[in-house]
Structure 1
Amino acid sequence: MQGLTNTPEPQVSVVIATYNMGQYLPDAVSSVLAQNWANLEVIVVDDGSTDDTSERMQVFEDDSRVRYIPTENRGQPKAKNRGLTEAKGDFIAFCDADDLWDPDKLKVQMPHFEDPKVGVVYSEVSYIDQDGNRIAKPQPYDRHSGSVTNHLVIKNFVPFGTAVIRRKCLEQNGGFDEQLPMGIDWDLWLRYSVDWHFTYAPDITYIYRIWPGQMSKNYRGRYDNAFRILNKFINQHPGVISEKLKSRAWADMYVSRGMAVAGGDKAFVEPLKDIILGLRLDVFYWPAWRALAKLVLRRV
């Protein structure tokens, strides 16, 4: 299938990998099922939950669109890949078990696949707290469309749960790297960006829940894996980005880690070393100079 014009709605497979998210999971599944898009399936892969997830999923037993697959605990990448293996649709989307979809998500994003070069369509996100109350949060990154590799090596600007992918991306460029405990979406987008265009739809179609204890707060682990991912991409795709851009990407990585450590640990010496290293890699990278000023003035 190249385009979507004058064809029935193509099937979209929605993968939800979950671990001990029983309190939020039914709402996530229900939000996907509430789509203004009839031809979809929801694949819930339970990565060895020890809470009441299985009991809470019983409410969907009679809905043929929902498949609940309990497995042993093997980690997030393997759970997501199991979902990809089970997916039957020509397009695949994701929802984290503690998040929500807007009812118009697929209606908004799917028309962008009319262009056969587009492999990933992503959108904007809003935020709620653990009780479902709206949170105002500024968008930290610019969004990009088209051939995005040069932007993506600097920042992962694609909110994971907003993305819908063409199955051919999976067949051609593979699924999630099961050796990475974190950052698996950035690794996936980098690989897809080499051969496919990305399209940004500015509509808010995804609702991200911020609550205590979620993995995203582990900034040291996140950056350890980010260094691995960037190094892996550069080594496996020689010549895709210029030497100058490589230096800038590494500079940003060091500066970003330094600022994360400065903010999280209220440290000074360790972040200073990272920022200086970033400046040595790319002395003209102005965010590094801005970070240095903020650190020295203790405004982190």
Structure 2
Amino acid sequence: MQGMTSTNQPLVSVVIATYNMGHYLPEAVNSVLRQTWSNLEIVIIDDGSTDDTAHQIAPLATDKRVHYIRTENKGQPQAKNRGLHEAQGEFIAFCDADDLWSPRKLELQMREFENPKVGVVYSEVSYIDQEGDHIDKAQPYERHSGTVTEHLVIKNFVPFGTAVIRRACIEKNGPFDETLPMGIDWDLWLRYSVDWEFRYVSDVTYIYRIWPGQMSKNYRGRYDNAFRILEKFLTANPNAVPDELASRAWADMYISRGMSIAAAERSFIEPFCDVCRGILRDSSYWQGWRSLAKLILRRV
């Protein structure tokens, strides 16, 4: 795909599911419209917003590449799936309504799809605050390319908004799971990883906005759904990873939840129990012993 002109570029559909993000949405849409990759459309699903979203988006909706669809409020998975249903492109990308794309995002990532085995191409991310000022934040996870199931079952290392996917992934492995209120991206990547290769582009192509009140701060809800997702995936794909790696995945889940609760609530008993459960799942996992030591030393 390298060196393509606008006349032979495949169409990329960019799905933006939004709820009460009128303040940020125009900036997100404009960042997509400024792409150096010209053959794109933007499918905006307004999930029953009660703010001024419709007014804010009206000037941009005159662009023939922008399709604004207002629905009743059903939640993020349903809104994203409506966007997938409406999308016309051979490839599909995502942008949250409060985030931004860099201008060369698609140009940099689409070339990786020259390999027909590649189903998902993702990239690096940077961070801004609610006013748009840069935030220095270390990237928490190692990134991986190729067949990634054995890495992905331990950590979701794919920043959701950076991903571009083949439509064929949806046709073969399904859309978002509408029974999950959170963690829908990890569930999607796990399913896709069984049949498709992933590619990582090290360039920063996505700018993630951190602001008070985001769903991502709901750590208890996030882990409740993560347990469901892991159980669902391992049950549906019993041969996807070796048994010892499945035990490592469960161990990491318990340990990570325990340490998150300890950090957020300054508690001991519940995190201690979670970390111990993790060690029982995989006693060779050094992260468990290190976490246990941290908890005990803090307690002492």
Normalising by the smaller structure, the TM-score range is over 0.9
**Which letter does structure 2 place at the counterpart of 1:62?**
T
Q: Is the 8 A contact 1:5 1:114 kept in 2?
A: no
| Runs of 4+ more than 3 Å apart | 3-7
> Which residue does the alignment assign to 2:263?
263
1:111 and 1:298 map into 2 onto residues whose CA distance is 49
Q: Which runs of 5+ in 2 are unaligned?
A: none
Tell me which residue corresponds to 1:295.
295
Partner of 2:235: 235
Once the 2 structures are TM-superposed, how far is the Cα of residue 297 of structure 1 from its aligned partner? 2.2
**Structure 1 residues 252-261 or 56-65, which shifts more?**
56-65
Q: Deviations over 1:161-197 (max 9, x none)?
A: 0000011001100100000000000000000000000
- The one-character-per-residue Cα deviations of 1:97-129 (angstroms, maximum 9, x if unpaired) are 000000000010000000000000000000000
Identify unmatched segments of 5+ residues in structure 1: none
AA aligned to 1:44 is: I
1:134 matched to which residue of 2? 134
Q: Provide the residue aligned with 2:285 in structure 1.
A: 285
> SS in structure 2 opposite 1:251?
helix
Distance apart, 1:25 and its partner CA = 0.5
More off after superposition, 284-293 vs 140-149: 284-293
Matched, 1:34 2:34: yes
Question: What residue is the counterpart of 1:165 in the other structure?
Answer: 165
Partner Cα distance (2:272, 2:38) in 1? 53
The residue number in structure 2 matching 1:54 is 54
Do the aligned residues in 2 keep the contact of 1:28 with 1:95 (CA within 8 Å)? yes
Instruction: For residues 45-99 of structure 1, give each alpha carbon's deviation from its aligned partner in whole angstroms, at most 9, with x where no partner exists.
Output: 0000000001001111310000000000000000000000000000000000000
Report if the CA contact (8 A) 1:48-1:72 is conserved.
yes
**Aligned pairs (5 A) from 1:78-93:** 78-93=78-93
Deviation at 1:298, TM superposition (A): 2.2
Alignment of 1:1-300 (within 5 A): 8-298=8-298
Q: Secondary structure at the match of 1:119?
A: strand
Aligned Cα RMSD in Å? Answer: 1.2
**Structure 1 residue 5: deviation in Å?**
7.6
Please report how far the alpha carbon of residue 291 of structure 1 lies from its aligned counterpart in structure 2 after TM superposition: 1.1
Secondary structure, counterpart of 1:202 in structure 2: strand
CA shift, 1:294, in A, is: 1.6
C-alpha displacement of 1:4: 7.1
CA distance in 2, matches of 1:32, 1:293: 46
For 2:62, what is the secondary structure of its paired residue? coil
Q: State how many pairs are aligned.
A: 297
Match for 2:132: what amino acid? G
TM-score (norm 1): 0.97
Secondary structure of the 2:201 match is: strand
Contact 1:252 1:278 in 2 (8 A): yes
Secondary structure in 2 matching 1:298? helix
SS state of the match for residue 58, structure 2? helix
Aligned residue for 2:67, secondary structure, equals: strand
Contact preservation (8 Å) 1:4, 1:113: no
* Counterpart residue type for residue 221 of structure 2: G
TM-score, normalised with respect to structure 2: 0.97
**Residue 251 of structure 2 aligns to which amino acid in structure 1?**
A
How far apart, in 1, do the equivalents of 2:84 and 2:2 lie? Answer: 22
- CA distance in 2: counterparts of 1:195 and 1:104, whole angstroms: 28
User: Equivalents in 2 of 1:79, 1:6: separation in Å?
Assistant: 32
